[in-house]
Amino acid sequence: MARAHALHILVKTREQADALKHQLAQGAKFGDLARKHSLCPSGKRGGDLGEFQRGQMVAAFDQVVFSKPTLEVHGPIKTKFGWHLIKTLSRS
pLDDT digits (tens, 9 = 90+) for 7-28: 999 999 999 999 999 999 999 9
CA–CA separation, 72 vs 2, rounded Å?
Answer: 19
Rounded Cα–Cα distance for residues 47 and 67 (Å): 20
Could you tell me if 32 and 23 are in contact, meaning their C-beta atoms sit under 8 angstroms apart? no
Cα–Cα distance between 23 and 1 in angstroms, integer?
35
Q: How far apart are CA 75 and CA 3, in angstroms?
A: 20
**CATH number, residue 85:** 3.10.50.40
Domain residue limits at 53: 3-91
- Cα 30 to Cα 35: distance, rounded to the nearest angstrom: 9
Looking at the structure of the chain, the number of domains it has is 1
The pLDDT, as a whole number, for residue 28 is 98
The pLDDT value given to residue 1: 87
